[in-house]
Amino acid sequence: MTTKHYDIFLDDKLIGTTELDKADAPMGVVFGLIHFTDNILDYKFFKKYCLDNKIELVDDYPDDKLISTRTIENLKVINENGIEIKALGNQISGMDGEEFEITLEGVAYPFFEEEFLHHVKAYNNQFKES
């Protein structure tokens, strides 16, 4: 299977890519590591961005430089065909010196199944008898 890559935009600026290689298919949730385009995209950047834009933080541990956001309205994920992956919500979480992850929550069917068929098949296969 060929790995799909998705571009991540914040305020219409490309900030990174992801493979969205993990999922909770029944819930329409996909997530994956972020490969940032710039090394200034870190705890300090996201903390300031969220404070400036009145975005609620789920977790914020300044001593550990760990952060987890609520939905960022100006965060978009675009597939290889230029189509935005529409979701009810999104989240960025991570820690400096470690990795950051993006989560898209509530991607509607049938689009979810069309775009992430491999996740749907993997979910369904876990219930097949061997």
Q: Residue 98: what pLDDT?
A: 94
Residue 130 lies in a domain: no
Q: Residue 68: what pLDDT?
A: 98
Q: Residue 3: what pLDDT?
A: 87
Residue 113 lies in a domain: yes
Residue 47 lies in a domain: yes
Give the chain's domain count.
Answer: 1
Q: Considering only CA atoms, which of 93, 124, 94, 118 is closest in space to residue 4?
A: 118
Residue 1 lies in a domain: no
pTM: 0.93
Check pLDDT > 90 for residue 69: yes
Helix (H) or strand (E) holding 76: strand 75-78
How many CB atoms are closer than 10 A to CB 79? Answer: 14
DSSP-derived 3-state class of residue 85: coil
Contacts 24+ apart (CB under 8 A), 16-20: 16/41, 18/77, 18/102, 20/77, 20/85, 20/102, 20/104, 20/116
Residue 53 lies in a domain: yes
Residue 38 lies in a domain: yes
Residue 102 lies in a domain: yes
Range of the structural domain that residue 106 is part of? 6-125
Q: What percent of the chain has pLDDT over 90?
A: 91
Residue 34 lies in a domain: yes
Instruction: Give dist(CA 61, CA 5) in Å, integer.
Output: 30
Residue 51 CA to chain centroid, in angstroms? 20
